Amino acid sequence: MIIVTGAAGFIGSCLIQRLNQDGFNFIIAVDDFSNPLKMKNLADKKIQEFVHRDVFFEWLDKNQAEVEFCFHIGARTDTAEFDQDIFNRLNLNYSKQIWKKCHLYQIPLIYASSAATYGNGEFGYDDNELQIPQLKPLNPYGESKNEFDKWALLQKDTPFFWAGLKFFNVFGPNEYHKGRMASVIFHSHNQIKATGRIKLFKSHRPDFKDGEQMRDFVYVKDLVEVCIYLMHSRRNSGIYNLGTGKARTFLDLAKATFAAMNLEPQIDFIDTPIDIRDKYQYFTQANMSKLRLIGYKKPFSSLEDSVNDYVSNYLAKDNYL
């Protein structure tokens, strides 16, 4: 059995599809399963059992002997949420409990961290574990992820293999349910479809022109390949960046979306919302050398190729992965 928490979500459901592709069909899907739109992500997936997150630990105590691996992808991911208690409960304390169970039952563990831990990037974007205590995330979501990373690094009792993956700006199929938190590609496609135009945030910093804010955009299909690799290798425990290693501008992204829809770019710039303006990252770029050093060889898709695949094969047809 392979456990996937956050199973009905964007990344969790794409990971299950990839596991199924390799013949792993005894999947234990853990989530709250209350959102019918999210449940569409799990249609046609091969799943052994659905376990509500509130009873998961009881389930694990009874079934641990049959569990081969745990992917802990589930989390509260809303960067505009500022209720610290929600993050403490769902991101920090829940993750600690999973870690302790995986140590107790010696289940290898991969968990989702985030590039939000890097904040403004004043310490760079190197997944150097010695720097993690110095990082200054810009919002409670990033803080919750960094607090768990710090806690994990201090533990003497660990699963025999574990990896924390700092996901950068992930996009791709199965994010229909995410609303405001869906990727810029998702929102751009919908805007073009409705109006023929895209709205991008203006820059509120003199060192960046409008639309030239940069992100390390990583396609979810590439991300799950890394997860599969680490599941099989089970060596070199630690915290790893998971981006492409190449930052691209939002203008690049907008143009790639128009190109995928066979349209000429029509772009308007709007003010960044006040509630996120001082928490907004202007540049992120993963240093990917650490993952490469432990033997991960597959290339990451270019922004143009991955946007074209996402728009043409999924968004344009309302398809799921």
Annotated binding residue at 16? no
Point out the catalytic residue in the list 40, 96, 100, 178: 178
Torsion, Cα 23 1 224 102, to 10 degrees, reads -160
Annotated binding residue at 204? yes
Residues 6+ apart with CB under 8 A from 291: 226, 240, 241, 242
> Is 267 exposed, middle or buried (CB count within 10 Å of its CB: 0-12, 13-18, 19+)?
middle
The C-alpha atoms of residue 55 and residue 224 are separated, in whole angstroms, by 26
Annotated binding residue at 202? yes
Helical axes 303-313 vs 220-233, angle rounded to 10°: 110
**Phi first, then psi: what are they for 136, rounded to 5°?**
-130, 85
Annotated binding residue at 38? yes
* E strand residue ranges, 152-297: 162-167, 169-171, 198-201, 214-215, 217-219, 238-242, 248-249, 267-270
40 catalytically annotated: no
Annotated binding residue at 32? yes
Annotated binding residue at 319? no
Annotated binding residue at 103? no
Annotated binding residue at 280? yes
Beta bridge partners of 248: 215
Annotated binding residue at 205? no
> 312 with 242: CB under 8 angstroms?
no
The C-alpha atoms of residue 83 and residue 154 are separated, in whole angstroms, by 26
141 catalytically annotated: yes
Other residues' Cβ atoms within 10 Å of the Cβ of residue 139: 20
Annotated binding residue at 74? yes
Annotated binding residue at 237? no
Annotated binding residue at 4? no
Annotated binding residue at 118? no
Point out the catalytic residue in the list 94, 118, 125, 141: 141
Beta bridge partners of 249: 214
Annotated binding residue at 145? yes
Roughly how many angstroms between the first and final C-alpha of the chain, as a whole number? 21
Annotated binding residue at 10? yes
Annotated binding residue at 286? no
Annotated binding residue at 11? yes
Q: Are strands 238-242 and 49-52 parallel, antiparallel or unpaired?
A: unpaired
Residues 6+ apart with CB under 8 A from 36: none
Determine the 3-state secondary structure of 111 from DSSP: strand
Binding-site sequence positions for substrate: 169, 180, 187, 201-204, 215, 280
Catalytic residues: 141, 178
Q: Give the residue numbers of the binding site.
A: 10-11, 31-32, 38, 53, 73-77, 145, 169-170, 178, 180, 187, 201-204, 215, 280
**Binding site residue list for NADP(+):** 10-11, 31-32, 38, 53, 73-77, 145, 170, 178
